[in-house]
């Protein structure tokens, strides 16, 4: 069985997403404090979370468009605080931009860039993310041949849309593609349902929580990925 394409989930597969979101949220908050202080004053953390939830409920059409959802939340936050529509529109964009720059200052797992560089010599590499990270804004840009996000597709994994996009983009059948990801449902079930091989990145060493079988291979660090790929090739 020849493998020619490897697709990667991003958040919690190539880096921990938690710390970078905390930093990005903090930068966004600093911007609001400086330029739209009234939008911050009326909300403690709990109230802000409730406000966010109410925006999510009222905008189901933005469910797969998390950047737009965040911008909408920032806009409404300013409107509620009494800023004009124009101030709120401009402010939402600027606060989002500050968030977005920080959101891409990801800290790759220590071995990730070396492994990507190695694999890029022999495989076509693609990024498939439900989040709003753009791999081309990171230090791994040069290793990736294509990238699709839930925002591009209007659908999130495990929906087949992103996996189908990878197949169409490369002209390679699912059986010659390996998808690598941390989420048992979004990544492993989603990719398997369309016929791809799968590698579960299980950095937390959890028991397999998904329905049905685990992935073709399970790894706890990306160091193990080249061997996992060889294993899949040999087993088929």
Of 11 and 102, the one with the shorter C-beta distance to Mg ion is: 11
Site membership for Mg ion, residue 216 (CB under 5 A): no
Using CB under 5 A, which residues numbered 156 to 195 contact Mg ion?
A: 182
- Judged by CB under 5 A, which of 5, 8, 11, 92 binds Mg ion? 11
Check if the beta carbon of residue 132 is closer than 8 Å to that of residue 139.
Answer: no
- Judged by CB under 5 A, which of 9, 76, 151, 216 binds Mg ion? 9
**Separation of alpha carbons 135 and 103, rounded Å:** 11
Site membership for Mg ion, residue 150 (CB under 5 A): no
- Judged by CB under 5 A, which of 3, 5, 8, 12 binds Mg ion? 12
Cα-Cα end-to-end distance for the chain:
5
**How many helices and strands (H and E) does the chain possess?**
10, 6
Check if the beta carbon of residue 40 is closer than 8 Å to that of residue 95.
Answer: no
Distance (Å) of CA 213 to CA 13, 68, 114: 20, 35, 30
Site membership for Mg ion, residue 102 (CB under 5 A): no
Of 11 and 76, the one with the shorter C-beta distance to Mg ion is: 11
Minimum distance from residue 16 beta carbon to Mg ion (Å): 10
What is the sign of the dihedral through the CA atoms of 24, 28, 29 and 30?
A: positive
Minimum distance from residue 183 beta carbon to Mg ion (Å): 5
Size of the site for Mg ion (CB under 5 A): 4
Q: What are phi and psi of 98, to 5 degrees?
A: -65, -45
Site membership for Mg ion, residue 151 (CB under 5 A): no
Q: Which residues bind Mg ion (CB under 5 A)?
A: 9, 11-12, 182
């Amino acid at each position: 069985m020849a493998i020619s394409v490897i697709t990667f989930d991003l958040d919690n597969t190539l880096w921990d997403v938690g710390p970078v979101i905390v930093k990005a949220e903090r930068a966004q908050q600093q911007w609001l404090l400086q330029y739209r202080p009234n939008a911050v004053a009326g909300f403690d953390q709990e109230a802000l979370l409730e406000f966010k939830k109410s925006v999510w409920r009222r905008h189901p059409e933005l469910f797969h468009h998390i950047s737009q959802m965040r911008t909408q939340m920032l806009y409404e936050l300013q409107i509620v605080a009494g800023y004009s529509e124009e101030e709120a529109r401009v402010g939402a964009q600027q606060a989002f931009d500050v968030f977005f720059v920080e959101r891409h200052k990801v800290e790759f797992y220590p071995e990730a860039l070396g492994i990507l560089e190695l694999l890029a010599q022999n495989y076509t590499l693609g990024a498939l993310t439900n989040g709003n990270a753009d791999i081309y804004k990171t230090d791994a840009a040069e290793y990736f041949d294509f990238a699709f996000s839930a925002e591009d597709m209007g659908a999130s994994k495990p929906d087949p849309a992103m996996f189908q996009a990878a197949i169409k983009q490369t002209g390679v059948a699912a059986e010659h593609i390996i998808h690598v990801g941390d989420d048992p449902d979004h990544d492993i079930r989603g990719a398997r349902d369309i016929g791809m091989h799968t590698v579960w990145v299980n950095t937390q060493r959890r028991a397999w929580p998904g329905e049905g079988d685990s992935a073709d291979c399970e790894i706890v660090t990306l160091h193990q990925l080249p061997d996992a790929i060889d294993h899949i090739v040999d087993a088929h």
